[in-house]
């Protein structure tokens, strides 16, 4: 119960953060659209009721985006991005990209100078470094955050992949109660003929995904395009929890806005935001999209896209009302 209360509280504070982001981008109208939209967005409401790490990741990204460009908060922004990667390891890509570009082009990304970019980078790497040290001390293996990346990369990148959580029948993978990683280990050790460490199993599946890209580049590009389309449409792809199943049975979810409502307004808002110099919002959206489609698409994995789209939607509405 305590964990759920904390998660609900973060969700409510997140609405306020979206309100602030919308106000910064498009004044009062932007604040109303972003804040109210975030409060009633169906997938936000649904997933905040489940104990999943993505809810924490969304809150941290909202906070990082709001504090972005404020000198005294540069280190905290980095900490938020680093902690986000602890909750969702694929989102480490976002931290690395925005920190790297901040070091190269600090003023273009809203920082007064390179000093703030350095503080951001230190904050970003602090928690992953501590996790690496802990994993090395406990297991003797240099694991940065987790060893699930390889298997998830293969699931999203293989000849039979369709862009969703689909286990190829001939892969030997089984989504069973004792864990997907156990069957992943068994398959990798069977193929290599020896016992493998957690890191070696992870590497073996990463290489299988890379082999697919090298052997069938045309199919890989086509699959990547399909995953982008899956990430930016109205249907919420199920993984552990099926949003569409509950939407059919809960009247409230049927009337709450979904990605189909949000994407046209938010997408246009991102185009308009370029003129407002909201480059970091646009960059967040693009890198979050890549971080999702690099693996496979599900409703909860694409959830962070909405936190950028709602303030952008506020800008669109503000421009429409202004004539």
Phi and psi at 109, nearest 5°, equal -100, 10
Q: Tell me, what's the pLDDT at 101?
A: 96
Q: Which of 45-49, 55-59, 113-117, 288-292 has the lowest mean pLDDT?
A: 45-49
- Grade residue 177 by pLDDT with cuts at 50, 70 and 90: low
In the chain, the percentage of residues whose pLDDT exceeds 90 is 75
- Closest C-alpha to 65, from 317, 308, 310, 312: 308
Listed residue (219, 209, 309, 229) closest to 263, CA to CA: 309
Q: Which helix (H) or strand (E) holds 253?
A: helix 251-255
E strand segments, the chain? none
Give yes or no for residue 54 having a pLDDT over 80. Answer: yes
Write out the two tokens for 95.
């931290």
- Going by pLDDT thresholds of 50, 70 and 90, the confidence category of residue 277 is confident
* Mean pLDDT, residues 273-279: 83
49 vs 79: which has the higher pLDDT: 79
- Cβ–Cβ under 8 Å, residues 76 and 67: yes
Q: What is the mean pLDDT of residues 206-221?
A: 96
State the chain's mean pLDDT as an integer: 92
With cut-offs at 50, 70 and 90, classify the pLDDT of residue 178. low
| Mean pLDDT in residue range 84-107 | 95
How far apart are the C-alpha atoms of 114 and 107, rounded to whole Å? 8
**Does residue 208 contact residue 201 with C-beta atoms inside 8 Å?**
no
Cα end-to-end span (Å), the chain: 48
CA-CA distance, 132 to 141, in Å (whole number)? Answer: 9
For the cut 90, the answer to whether the pLDDT of residue 221 exceeds it is yes
Average pLDDT over residues 185-197: 90
What SS3 class is residue 51?
coil
Between residues 139 and 299, the one the model is more confident about: 299
Residues 235-259 have pLDDT tens digits of 999 877 788 888 888 888 899 999 9
Which token pair is 228?
């982008």
The pTM of the whole model exceeds 0.95: no
> What is the chain's Cα-based Rg?
20
CA angle 45, 88, 300 (to 5 degrees): 35
């Amino acid at each position: 119960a305590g964990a759920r209360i904390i998660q609900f509280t973060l969700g409510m504070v997140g609405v306020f953060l979206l309100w602030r982001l919308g106000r910064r981008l498009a004044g009062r109208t932007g604040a109303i659209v972003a804040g109210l939209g975030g409060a009633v967005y169906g997938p936000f409401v649904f997933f905040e009721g489940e104990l999943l790490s993505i809810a924490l990741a969304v809150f941290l990204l909202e906070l990082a985006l709001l504090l972005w460009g404020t000198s005294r908060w540069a280190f905290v922004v980095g900490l938020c991005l680093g902690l986000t990667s602890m909750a969702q390891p694929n989102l480490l890509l976002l931290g690395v990209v925005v920190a790297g570009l901040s070091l190269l082009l600090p003023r273009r990304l809203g920082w007064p100078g390179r000093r703030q970019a350095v503080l951001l980078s230190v904050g970003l790497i602090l928690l992953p470094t501590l996790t690496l040290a802990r994993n090395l001390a406990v297991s003797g293996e240099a694991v940065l955050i987790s060893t699930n990346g390889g298997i998830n990369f293969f699931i999203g990148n293989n000849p039979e992949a369709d862009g969703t959580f689909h286990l190829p029948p001939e892969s030997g993978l089984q989504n069973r109660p004792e864990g997907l990683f156990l069957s992943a280990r068994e398959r990798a050790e069977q193929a290599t003929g020896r016992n493998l460490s957690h890191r070696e199993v992870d590497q073996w599946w990463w290489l299988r995904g890379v082999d697919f890209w090298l052997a069938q580049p045309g199919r890989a590009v086509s699959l990547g395009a399909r995953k982008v389309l899956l990430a930016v449409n109205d249907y919420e792809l199920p993984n552990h929890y099926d949003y569409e199943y509950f939407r059919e049975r809960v009247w409230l979810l049927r009337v709450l806005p979904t990605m189909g409502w949000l994407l046209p307004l938010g997408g246009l808002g991102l185009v308009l935001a370029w003129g407002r110099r909201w480059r970091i919002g646009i960059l967040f959206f693009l890198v979050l999209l890549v971080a999702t489609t690099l693996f496979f698409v599900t409703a909860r994995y694409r959830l962070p896209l909405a936190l950028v789209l709602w303030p952008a939607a506020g800008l669109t509405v503000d421009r429409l009302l202004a004539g």
